[in-house]
């Protein structure tokens, strides 16, 4: 790299601040996946098929082992990324290239499947609460056949910041209050914040204007933005309007939510189970490669 390559233009448009609001509220629907794990699908269901670049959001939450013990035995992925965020419980991850790891409470695995992996995700507990999220993030066409990559992030590697009184935010991806999350090198430049508010607390969160975003309340209730659909309760996903800032506040009780945003790809999506490509021909190729053992 030459010195001039790092020189930025001195003329940067000062983008005016604009507030994001909740465009609409989506409720997840109960389903099961893997070998029979019960979960709630919030993105990737008829009520919200996709929110480019996000293809799927599942919340799994049960203290009944029969709901999760079967886990997700070996299965393939190609063409996108799976992001697992554990709130409670332990999940063992292993793949066909010898990678293995244990996801513990508060940890994140950002897996770029790229051209393909075969992996399993199995609970490493026989009782107790298993709680967390899996988000699917699309890859741009140019990266769909990239080499697989893992970012396994331990709980203590995720920084916390308190941008205002009574508010604690774990920054998984993106930057808040001068604190950057550990996830790096992701094409869609994601922001992934886990926000905890004490009763009566309020915070304003900047989100890139170019990004699609959502807020999902997983404990208590919160007011998101200032529109007609601002009041979200546990299990509500609010699709955010465009803008640069979203305000979040708690009422008389504490609240917890994730706020996630990513740059839309605006590319055609051909989706077949665990394969997400751009064309039907690429899907056929993925199925052929999988059957021929080329993953
Ligand atoms: Mn998987």
Judge whether residue 205 has pLDDT over 90.
yes
How far apart are alpha carbons 152 and 92 in whole angstroms? 12
Report how far Cα 96 is from the mean position of its chain's Cα atoms.
24
Distance 21 CA to ligand 1 centre (A): 32
> Do 192 and 240 touch, CB atoms closer than 8 A?
no
Judge whether residue 284 has pLDDT over 50.
yes
Distance 238 CA to ligand 1 centre (A): 25
How far apart are alpha carbons 159 and 156 in whole angstroms? 7
User: Could you say which DSSP state residue 267 is in?
Assistant: -
The pLDDT, as a whole number, for residue 16 is: 78
Q: What is the mean pLDDT of residues 210-233?
A: 97
How far apart are alpha carbons 218 and 40 in whole angstroms? 12
Q: What is the mean pLDDT of residues 146-160?
A: 97
Distance 81 CA to ligand 1 centre (A): 9
Average predicted confidence (pLDDT) for the chain: 95
Residue range 177-197, pLDDT digits in tens: 999 999 999 999 999 999 999
Distance 282 CA to ligand 1 centre (A): 20
- pLDDT band of residue 97 (cuts 50, 70, 90) is confident
- pLDDT band of residue 15 (cuts 50, 70, 90) is low
Residue range 62-96, pLDDT digits in tens: 999 999 999 999 999 999 999 999 999 999 999 99
Distance 76 CA to ligand 1 centre (A): 7
The pLDDT, as a whole number, for residue 13 is: 55
User: Could you say which DSSP state residue 76 is in?
Assistant: E
Distance 75 CA to ligand 1 centre (A): 6
Distance 254 CA to ligand 1 centre (A): 32
Q: What is the mean pLDDT of residues 136-154?
A: 97
Domains assigned to the chain: 13-291 (2.60.120.10)
Residue 220, Cβ neighbours under 10 Å: how many?
19
Q: What is the mean pLDDT of residues 126-142?
A: 97
% of the chain beyond a pLDDT of 90: 93
Neighbouring C-alpha atoms within 13 Å toward the C-beta of 288: 6
Distance 206 CA to ligand 1 centre (A): 31
Distance 174 CA to ligand 1 centre (A): 24
How far apart are alpha carbons 49 and 102 in whole angstroms? 30
How far apart are alpha carbons 196 and 202 in whole angstroms? 10
% of the chain beyond a pLDDT of 70: 95
Encoded tokens for 94: 């292993």
Distance 253 CA to ligand 1 centre (A): 35
Judge whether residue 12 has pLDDT over 80.
no
Distance 95 CA to ligand 1 centre (A): 10
The pLDDT, as a whole number, for residue 14 is: 56
> Do 262 and 253 touch, CB atoms closer than 8 A?
no
The pLDDT, as a whole number, for residue 6 is: 45
Q: What is the mean pLDDT of residues 256-269?
A: 98
């Amino acid at each position: 790299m030459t010195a001039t390559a790092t020189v930025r233009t001195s003329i940067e448009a000062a983008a005016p601040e604009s507030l994001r609001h909740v465009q609409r509220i989506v409720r997840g629907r109960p389903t099961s996946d893997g070998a029979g794990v019960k979960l709630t699908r919030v993105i990737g269901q008829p009520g919200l098929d996709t929110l480019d670049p996000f293809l799927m959001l599942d919340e799994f939450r049960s203290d009944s082992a029969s709901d999760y013990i079967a886990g997700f035995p070996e299965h393939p992925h190609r063409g996108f990324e799976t992001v697992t965020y554990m709130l409670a419980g332990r999940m063992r991850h292993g793949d066909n290239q010898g990678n293995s790891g244990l996801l513990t409470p508060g940890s994140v695995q950002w897996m770029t499947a790229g051209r393909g992996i075969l992996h399993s995700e199995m609970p490493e507990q026989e009782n107790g609460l298993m709680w967390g999220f899996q988000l699917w993030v699309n890859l741009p066409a140019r990266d769909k056949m990239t080499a697989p990559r893992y970012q396994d992030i331990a709980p203590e590697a995720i920084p916390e910041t308190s941008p205002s009184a009574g508010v604690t935010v774990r920054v998984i991806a993106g930057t808040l209050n001068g604190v950057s999350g550990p996830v790096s090198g992701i094409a869609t430049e994601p922001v992934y914040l886990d926000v905890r508010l004490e009763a009566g607390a309020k915070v304003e969160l900047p989100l890139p204007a170019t990004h699609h975003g959502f807020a999902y309340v997983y404990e208590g209730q919160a007011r998101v933005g200032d529109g007609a659909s601002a009041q979200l309760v546990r299990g509500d996903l609010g699709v955010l309007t465009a803008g640069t800032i979203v305000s979040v506040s708690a009422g008389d009780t504490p609240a917890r939510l994730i706020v996630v945003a990513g740059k839309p790809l605006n590319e055609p999506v051909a989706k077949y189970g665990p394969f997400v490509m751009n064309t039907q021909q690429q899907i056929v190729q993925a199925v052929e490669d999988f059957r021929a053992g080329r993953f």
